[in-house]
């Protein structure tokens, strides 16, 4: 229905407004400032603070601008005597119980209450009684509370209900006894919980990890792009004396709106990790020595020049920038090294020649919320891409039918019709959907005006990925749904485009002599490895990676960090940069190229990684390796991409296998990656690590009963030669015959394939 516009007057000026819009929205749009606390454009209207009172024609009383819909001919005054008196009185009431501790409040200098008080309050208070005190709550490692400062605007409460989809905070008591706190759980568990810090208009909820690090006015703000998932959320990174001390969202309605995930907000803590490499290091006779850059580069160049290219493997993490990835593959190919890959957690590469030039969502991110039917295949989207999950949740709340086929029942925060089948049965389950026109999934996708079939990270890491993809594509074609991918890392799309795959050059160009995928060269036959921003926990099969890397003659690591394990197998450490210490580009799941500048310097002698690669290229004598800025590298890649259709997910491989590649022996492992263990930076963020649940093995109660295992019992989990002991957790969402042991955990890093076979026995 077409929107109707009306003319109203604000402060004697005529303005056009959408009929029925709240006055505060109209005022915001026309630059008229109305003070507010409880109103927030992304939340429902509560109208409980009364700070937005304005004068309205023909109204004896002042009215709240956030709860007054406009109609033709209405007249308002926001700064008349009547309005000002009302605003002043409300401000006085709000300050009755608010402590005057601004000098020691972390919100000081960026506090809405402080600002509005200066602009609209009185210089004195008539209140001379004792102020009330509210006990603080410990709500976890991310958010600090000072609940005496709370003005009960309920933004945090509504956020939990309306955006995070978890009723974690609420009000208890009435009137001046009303207190905001957590309902049942003591800790906020939502993956978006940190957004309440930005929403809270006072210093009641502040960021615990950055508390008291600096005053707001001492911080320098830098634009950045979040480095963890494929959304590419817009960040503002704040530095104090060149140290990153905070990350907050930068508003962009097309991508992250005004939210960010906790992972994107708090992972900056990892930048200052104790295992940063701050000097180039060389290993001789089993001992590490510090080296000058020249020595280290010469030693690295010698290794690369003398290594047998056919027995050299180059692996990059897709959290690297486009520029780093592009130089990495140019350098390797310049040395005739063909075994190049970034798909560290993937195991099935059988259809890679039919894969699109780069996998993408198939639509702009914001369009996800317009979908009427969504089918997720192998996706824990809530943990993997929290802000895409938020868009899907919006769609679901508007009535979209969201369906999922997963190897275990993942916890969604909206209604999802989820089919959880063992990994070995996913293929048949999807086949059954595709073959049956009467199937509910098929029918819902067909009937919907806007429908999409999305392949998630779990599907990509599944041993039957190629068949799952082929079936998913067929399903999308048969139903007229859009086919898309929810890719893994901040720059998975960029890694494809940059050519960090063994079978294609950058821009998807054909390669006459392709290399083999990671699963085929991650073995003892490969004598030299070059790792870009990659460590053991990034592999889908850390056991296989550890064996191959430990057996190699040389392992060259170019990365900001090196943990103990890396130091054991590496022979050269070249210190690089994190996302905050380099300029670069990430390409998100909607194929949006987002470039950013460096926020601060890498520590010690570490250098921006693209520069390390560039100089290394010169050292080994690769021709035409002389870029002077990251912009030049991206420009070159764009030239290569001229006329290339990158956004198409068209896929033309025949479905061949009908038997699953998942091993039928023992328990089928479901090894999805824990959300705070996905990449090196987040694994080093202390506050996020403190939020991790205890590592457990999830078992179906039926299996547990048959083995005499009760919840909490110690269970021996063996995979190949490795065995670990974990407490059991009984979970109806785990299919019978399966065991949920997440990947990326410190304890599970000794295990093998994420979807391999496990032996489970009661320990002791």
Of 83, 200, 303, 687, the one binding ligand SF4 by CB under 6 A? 200
In the complex, least distance from residue 193 CB atom to ligand SF4, rounded to whole angstroms: 12
Asked if 700 touches ligand SF4 (CB under 6 A), the answer is no
3-state secondary structure of 13: strand
In the complex, least distance from residue 157 CB atom to ligand FES, rounded to whole angstroms: 14
Provide the β-strand partners of residue 169.
182
Q: Which stretch binds ligand SF4 (CB under 6 A): 194-202, 228-236, 264-272, 361-369?
A: 194-202
233 binds, among ligand FES, ligand SF4, none (CB under 5 to 8 A by kind): none
Among residues 562, 551, 495, 560, the alpha carbon closest in space to that of 523 is found at: 551
Annotate 517-535 with DSSP letters as a single string: -HHHHSSTT--EEEEES--
Q: What's the CA dihedral at 385, 387, 388, 392 to 10 degrees?
A: 130
Enumerate binding residues for ligand FES (CB under 6 A).
36-39, 47-52, 64, 66
In the complex, least distance from residue 8 CB atom to ligand FES, rounded to whole angstroms: 18
Q: Encoding tokens for residue 567?
A: 């130091």
205 binds, among ligand FES, ligand SF4, none (CB under 5 to 8 A by kind): ligand SF4
**CB neighbours (10 Å) of residue 80?**
14
Q: What's the CA dihedral at 106, 111, 115, 118 to 10 degrees?
A: -40
Helices (H) then strands (E): counts for the chain: 23, 32
- Which of residues 146 and 351 has its CB atom nearest to ligand SF4 in the complex? 146
User: Mapped to the 3 state alphabet, what secondary structure does 30-88 carry?
Assistant: CCCCCCCCCCCCCCCCCCCCCCCEEEECCCCCCEEHHHCECCCCCEEECCCHHHHHHHH
Q: Which stretch binds ligand SF4 (CB under 6 A): 127-135, 197-205, 445-453, 463-471?
A: 197-205
152 binds, among ligand SF4, ligand FES, none (CB under 5 to 8 A by kind): ligand SF4
- Which of residues 137 and 607 has its CB atom nearest to ligand SF4 in the complex? 137
Asked if 555 touches ligand SF4 (CB under 6 A), the answer is no
Provide the β-strand partners of residue 42.
none
Q: Which stretch binds ligand SF4 (CB under 6 A): 144-152, 388-396, 466-474, 564-572?
A: 144-152
Asked if 182 touches ligand SF4 (CB under 6 A), the answer is no
Asked if 199 touches ligand SF4 (CB under 6 A), the answer is yes
Q: How many CA atoms lie within 13 A of 488 on its CB side?
A: 27
Site for ligand SF4 (CB under 6 A): how many residues?
14
Alpha helices, DSSP H, located in 570-716: 609-620, 630-641, 680-683, 686-690, 701-706
In the complex, least distance from residue 71 CB atom to ligand FES, rounded to whole angstroms: 18
Asked if 53 touches ligand SF4 (CB under 6 A), the answer is no
Among residues 566, 607, 592, 534, the alpha carbon closest in space to that of 345 is found at: 534
Instruction: Pick out residues in 633-652 that bind ligand SF4 (CB under 6 A).
Output: none
In the complex, least distance from residue 199 CB atom to ligand SF4, rounded to whole angstroms: 5
Among residues 238, 215, 462, 201, the alpha carbon closest in space to that of 343 is found at: 462
In the complex, least distance from residue 210 CB atom to ligand SF4, rounded to whole angstroms: 17
66 binds, among ligand FES, ligand SF4, none (CB under 5 to 8 A by kind): ligand FES
d(CA 26, CA 29): 5
Q: How many CA atoms lie within 13 A of 592 on its CB side?
A: 20
Classify the C-alpha dihedral 98-103-108-109 as positive or negative: positive
Task: Convert 352-387 to b/e letters by CB count within 10 Å (16 or more is b).
Answer: beebbbbbbbbbebebbbbbbbbbbbbbbbbbbbbb
d(CA 472, CA 491): 23
249 binds, among ligand SF4, ligand FES, none (CB under 5 to 8 A by kind): none
Asked if 467 touches ligand SF4 (CB under 6 A), the answer is no
Tokens 């969202």 map to which residue?
249
Query: End-to-end distance of the chain based on CA atoms, in angstroms?
Result: 68
202 binds, among ligand SF4, ligand FES, none (CB under 5 to 8 A by kind): ligand SF4
- Which of residues 98 and 283 has its CB atom nearest to ligand SF4 in the complex? 98
- Which of residues 150 and 395 has its CB atom nearest to ligand SF4 in the complex? 150
333 binds, among ligand FES, ligand SF4, none (CB under 5 to 8 A by kind): none
Report yes or no: 683 and 676 within 8 Å, Cβ to Cβ. Answer: yes
Asked if 202 touches ligand SF4 (CB under 6 A), the answer is yes
548 binds, among ligand FES, ligand SF4, none (CB under 5 to 8 A by kind): none
Q: What does DSSP assign to residue 235?
A: E
- Which of residues 49 and 56 has its CB atom nearest to ligand FES in the complex? 49
- Which of residues 37 and 529 has its CB atom nearest to ligand SF4 in the complex? 37
Q: Which stretch binds ligand SF4 (CB under 6 A): 86-94, 150-158, 586-594, 627-635?
A: 150-158
- Which of residues 155 and 283 has its CB atom nearest to ligand FES in the complex? 155
Q: Which stretch binds ligand SF4 (CB under 6 A): 154-162, 269-277, 495-503, 631-639?
A: 154-162
Asked if 277 touches ligand SF4 (CB under 6 A), the answer is no
Asked if 153 touches ligand SF4 (CB under 6 A), the answer is yes
In the complex, least distance from residue 93 CB atom to ligand SF4, rounded to whole angstroms: 14
In the complex, least distance from residue 39 CB atom to ligand SF4, rounded to whole angstroms: 12
Asked if 158 touches ligand SF4 (CB under 6 A), the answer is no
Report yes or no: 560 and 602 within 8 Å, Cβ to Cβ. Answer: yes
Provide the residue count of the chain.
Answer: 764
Report yes or no: 122 and 88 within 8 Å, Cβ to Cβ. Answer: yes
In the complex, least distance from residue 745 CB atom to ligand SF4, rounded to whole angstroms: 33
Asked if 316 touches ligand SF4 (CB under 6 A), the answer is no
Asked if 152 touches ligand SF4 (CB under 6 A), the answer is yes
- Which of residues 83 and 180 has its CB atom nearest to ligand SF4 in the complex? 180
- Which of residues 116 and 166 has its CB atom nearest to ligand FES in the complex? 116
Of 15, 95, 180, 453, the one binding ligand SF4 by CB under 6 A? 180
d(CA 489, CA 285): 36
Classify the C-alpha dihedral 525-531-535-539 as positive or negative: negative
314 binds, among ligand FES, ligand SF4, none (CB under 5 to 8 A by kind): none
Report yes or no: 709 and 716 within 8 Å, Cβ to Cβ. Answer: no
3-state secondary structure of 500: coil
Classify the C-alpha dihedral 386-392-397-403 as positive or negative: negative
In the complex, least distance from residue 422 CB atom to ligand FES, rounded to whole angstroms: 51
In the complex, least distance from residue 249 CB atom to ligand FES, rounded to whole angstroms: 21
47 binds, among ligand SF4, ligand FES, none (CB under 5 to 8 A by kind): ligand FES
In the complex, least distance from residue 39 CB atom to ligand FES, rounded to whole angstroms: 4
Q: Encoding tokens for residue 749?
A: 């890093």
- Which of residues 97 and 319 has its CB atom nearest to ligand FES in the complex? 97
Asked if 141 touches ligand SF4 (CB under 6 A), the answer is no
- Which of residues 204 and 470 has its CB atom nearest to ligand SF4 in the complex? 204
Q: Encoding tokens for residue 133?
A: 């005190």
Q: How far is CA 568 from CA 288, 555, 748, in A?
A: 10, 10, 18
In the complex, least distance from residue 148 CB atom to ligand SF4, rounded to whole angstroms: 10
Asked if 455 touches ligand SF4 (CB under 6 A), the answer is no
Q: How far is CA 600 from CA 232, 573, 608, in A?
A: 20, 21, 10
743 binds, among ligand FES, ligand SF4, none (CB under 5 to 8 A by kind): none
Rg over alpha carbons for the chain, rounded to the nearest Å, is 28
Asked if 117 touches ligand SF4 (CB under 6 A), the answer is no
By the criterion CB under 6 A, which residues form the site for ligand SF4? 150-156, 180, 199-202, 204-205
């Amino acid at each position: 229905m077409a929107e109707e516009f009306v003319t109203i007057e604000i402060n004697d000026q005529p303005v056009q407004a959408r009929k029925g819009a709240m006055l505060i929205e109209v005022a915001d749009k026309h630059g008229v400032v109305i003070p507010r606390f409880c109103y927030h454009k992304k939340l429902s209207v509560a109208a409980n603070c009364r700070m937005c009172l304005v004068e309205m024609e023909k109204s004896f009383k002042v009215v709240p601008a956030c709860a007054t819909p406009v109609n033709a001919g209405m007249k308002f005054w926001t700064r008349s005597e009547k309005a000002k008196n009302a605003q002043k009185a409300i401000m006085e009431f709000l300050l009755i119980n608010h402590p005057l501790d601004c000098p020691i409040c972390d919100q000081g200098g960026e506090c809405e209450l402080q600002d509005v008080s200066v602009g609209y309050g009185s210089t004195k208070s008539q209140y001379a009684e004792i102020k009330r005190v509210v006990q603080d709550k410990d709500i976890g490692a991310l958010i600090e509370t000072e609940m005496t400062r709370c003005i009960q605007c309920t933004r945090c409460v509504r956020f939990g209900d309306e955006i995070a989809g978890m009723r974690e905070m609420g009000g208890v008591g009435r009137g001046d006894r009303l207190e905001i706190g957590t309902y049942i759980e003591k800790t906020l568990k939502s993956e978006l919980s940190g957004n309440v810090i930005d929403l809270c208009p006072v210093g009641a909820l502040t960021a615990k990890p950055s508390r008291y690090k600096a005053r707001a006015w001492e911080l320098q703000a830098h634009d950045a792009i979040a480095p963890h998932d494929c959304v590419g959320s817009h960040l503002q990174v704040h530095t104090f004396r060149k140290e990153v001390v905070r990350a907050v969202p930068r508003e962009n309605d097309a991508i992250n709106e005004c939210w960010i995930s906790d992972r994107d907000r708090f992972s900056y803590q990892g930048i200052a990790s104790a295992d940063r490499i701050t000097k180039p290091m060389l290993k001789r006779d089993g001992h590490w020595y510090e080296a000058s850059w020249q020595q280290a580069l010469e030693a690295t160049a010698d290794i690369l020049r003398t290594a047998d290219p056919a027995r050299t493997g180059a692996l990059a993490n897709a959290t690297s920038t486009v520029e780093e990835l592009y130089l990495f593959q140019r350098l390797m190919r310049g040395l005739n090294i063909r075994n190049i890959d970034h798909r560290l957690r993937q195991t099935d590469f059988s259809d890679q020649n039919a894969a699109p030039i780069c996998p993408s969502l198939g639509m702009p991110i914001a369009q996800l919320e317009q979908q009427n039917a969504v089918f997720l295949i192998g996706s824990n989207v809530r943990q993997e891409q929290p802000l895409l999950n938020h868009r899907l949740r919006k769609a679901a709340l508007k009535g979209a039918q969201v369906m999922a086929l997963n190897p275990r029942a993942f916890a969604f925060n909206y209604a999802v019709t989820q089919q959880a089948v063992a990994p070995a049965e996913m293929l048949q389950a999807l086949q059954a959907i595709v073959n049956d026109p009467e199937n509910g999934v098929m029918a819902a996708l067909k009937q919907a005006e806007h429908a999409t079939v999305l392949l998630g990270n779990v599907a990509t890491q599944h041993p039957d990925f190629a068949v799952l993809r082929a079936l998913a594509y067929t399903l999308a074609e048969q139903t007229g749904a859009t086919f898309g991918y929810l890719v893994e890392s901040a720059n998975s799309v960029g890694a494809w485009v940059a050519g960090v795959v063994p079978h294609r050059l950058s821009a998807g160009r054909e390669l006459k002599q392709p290399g083999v995928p990671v699963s085929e060269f991650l073995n003892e036959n490969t004598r030299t490895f070059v790792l870009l921003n990659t460590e053991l926990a990034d592999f889908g099969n850390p056991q296989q990676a550890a064996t191959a890397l430990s057996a190699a003659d040389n392992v060259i690591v170019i990365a900001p960090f090196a943990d103990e394990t890396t130091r054991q197998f590496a022979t050269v450490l070249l210190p690089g940069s994190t996302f905050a210490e380099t300029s670069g580009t990430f390409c998100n799941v909607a194929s949006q190229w987002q470039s950013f500048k460096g926020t601060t310097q890498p520590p010690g002698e570490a250098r921006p990684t693209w520069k390390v690669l560039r100089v290394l290229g010169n050292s080994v004598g690769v021709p035409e390796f002389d870029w002077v800025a990251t912009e030049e590298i991206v420009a070159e890649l764009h030239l290569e991409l001229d006329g290339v259709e990158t956004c198409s997910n068209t896929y033309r491989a025949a479905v061949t296998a009908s038997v699953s590649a998942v091993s039928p022996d023992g328990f089928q492992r479901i090894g999805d990656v824990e959300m705070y263990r996905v990449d090196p930076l987040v694994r080093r963020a202390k506050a996020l690590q403190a939020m991790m649940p205890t590592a457990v093995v999830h078992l179906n109660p039926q299996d547990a009963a048959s083995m005499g295992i009760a919840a909490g019992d110690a269970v021996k989990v063996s995979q190949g030669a490795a065995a670990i002991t974990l407490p059991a957790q009984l979970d109806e969402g785990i299919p019978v015959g399966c065991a949920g042991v997440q990947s990326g955990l410190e304890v599970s890093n000794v295990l093998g394939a994420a979807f391999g076979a496990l032996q489970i026995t009661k320990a002791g």
